[in-house]
Amino acid sequence: MKKYLINTSGCQANELDSEKISWVLDTMGYESTQDKEQADIILFNTCAVRKSAEDKVFGQLGELKELKRRKPEVILGICGCMMQREDIREFFLSKHKHIDLVFGTNNIHKLPQLISRQIETGKTIVDIIEDTREIDENIDAHRKYSYKAFVDIMYGCDNFCTYCIVPYTRGRERSREPETIIMEISKLVESGVKEVTLLGQNVNSYGKTLHMDYSFPDLLKDINEIEGLERIRFMTSHPKDFTERLIQAYVELDKLSPHLHLPVQSGSNRVLKMMNRKYTREEYLEKINAIKERLPNLAITTDIIVGFPGETEEDFQDTIDLVRDVEFDSAFTFLYSIRDGTIAAKIEEQVPDQIKHERFQRLLDTLHPIGLKLNQKLLGTIQKVLVEEVSKNDSRVMSGRTESAKLVHFPGGEELIGKIVNVRIDNVKTFTLEGEMID
Ligand code: SAH
Ligand code: SF4
Ligand code: F3S
């Protein structure tokens, strides 16, 4: 049997795409391997959101030159977000002549045809589709986990935050039909899935491209009715489209995870405006306070960019103040990275690296004690944990997530994987909880 290896970087959208690619290759009679020496096809599913991700894949591809010389029949492919950008694609193809196959995020269904063409001709095959309407929704996914699954509810992004490359890699926003999504989730539940994570770059604008009056809270309500499903999560929510109706959904829907990931990016109105985020810090805080009032036990997480062009010490201080006001459970923090083709890339006034790093450290020093303090509130509580896997550091310890998506470690065995168990929290750290199973 021929074998494939997929190397995935980037967000959940890419992880799900890799599962779809696996499914397509499975149907072609290939099987998966982790060993590049055994692989007949090696694919890199790439992310373009920051320059560092690009440099890493560039290096990894270079390292495969030697393998390709020894085994010229191996198909070396590169796909995903980076390949949707003509400039990056051309750069890679000009520097790495040993690439055999290039495809993108919207044409995974064409893979069998592209591979056959590559084998027949021996030439480098490049096939990119820009239009998200071409995505074939009949492609299934070879799921990594049996008990949890990602589900696309929409494709693309129309927000054009000035720093971000995603609208130029993932194309125009398109919502999937609710019936298709619900059918897909029902099938997943029949096969044993307990938790779904709904994916979209801005799930709060779900429904805008549908020909009916149906929005994200409607979809959540319908998914909540699916019998056998235990947990619903979603990523990512944009503050500008965050509505009272969504708060209501959190209150009413028993399966909706009490966790909100609401990327703020900056606490400075001046920077938010330059970022084209379309909300102010006051509006953000108002929305957070409104939901906290109704759901005091909600975990709130965010994304923050440090060193956006022109960010002053005062702007940065506004971010620190906002972090203190909101009290985030945790945050993904990023150093601003210039992405060619975006509007912010044209701003000349860059923040020097040293200042960026120094601010980044101050941000972490603010976030971490808050995270620890919020976790300490959970000491002695009993949490419902979906057991995910054996801990990487200790085979006698299992890891899983609470309803609010916090990572928990507790002593247990592999037979618990995929089950929801009660864990009493006995010890907490900044990023994890520890406890004992109690039934
Ligand atoms: N659609 C999602 C997230 C997409 S990218 C959203 O809007 O929240 C994930 C995160 O990467 C973003 O939230 C942002 O914080 C970060 N990011 C995007 N472009 C970046 C850049 N050029 N430099 C640094 N971080 C960036
Ligand atoms: Fe990027 Fe903004 Fe779209 Fe998120 S909403 S993917 S940050 S452009
Ligand atoms: Fe990266 Fe594409 Fe996701 S650029 S963050 S993999 S949408």
Which ligand does the CA of 10 lie closest to?
A: 3
CATH number, domain 382-438: 2.40.50.140
> 235: Cβ below 6 Å to ligand 3?
no
In the Cβ-directed half-sphere of 287, how many Cα atoms lie within 13 Å? Answer: 22
Q: Which ligand is nearest to the CA of 17?
A: 3
- Residue 130's pLDDT is 92
Q: List the one residue out of 326, 317, 323 whose CA is nearest residue 290.
A: 326
205-261 pLDDT, tens digit each = 999 999 899 999 999 999 999 999 999 999 999 999 999 999 999 999 999 999 999
Q: Under CATH, domain 3-127 is a member of which superfamily? A: Methylthiotransferase, N-terminal domain (3.40.50.12160)
pLDDT of residue 124: 96
Q: Which atom of ligand 2 is nearest to the CA of 170?
A: 6
Give the Cα separation of 160 and 277 in Å (integer): 9
How many angstroms does the Cα of residue 84 sit away from the middle of ligand 3? 11
Centre of ligand 1 to C-alpha 81, Å, is 14
Q: How many CB atoms lie within 10 A of CB 133?
A: 12
358 lines ligand 1 (CB under 6 A): no
For atom 18 of ligand 1, which residue has the closest CA? 164
How much distance in Å is there from the Cα of 368 to the middle of ligand 1?
21
User: Quick check: helix, strand or coil at residue 261?
Assistant: strand
Residue 393, pLDDT score = 87
Return the pLDDT at 362. Answer: 98
Please give the CATH topology (third level) of the domain spanning 143-257: Transcription Regulator spoIIAA (3.30.750)
- Å from CA of 236 to ligand 2 middle: 9
Q: What is the pLDDT of residue 237?
A: 93
What is the CATH number that goes with domain 263-377? 3.30.750.200
pLDDT digits (tens, 9 = 90+) for 201-214: 999 999 999 989 99
Residue 416 Cα to chain centre, angstroms: 26
> What are the residue ranges spanned by the domains of the chain?
3-127, 143-257, 263-377, 382-438
Ligand with an atom nearest the CA of residue 155: 3
Compute the distance from residue 54 Cα to the ligand 3 centre, in Å: 11
Quick check: 384 and 435 in contact, CB under 8 A?
no
Give the chain's residues under pLDDT 50.
Answer: none
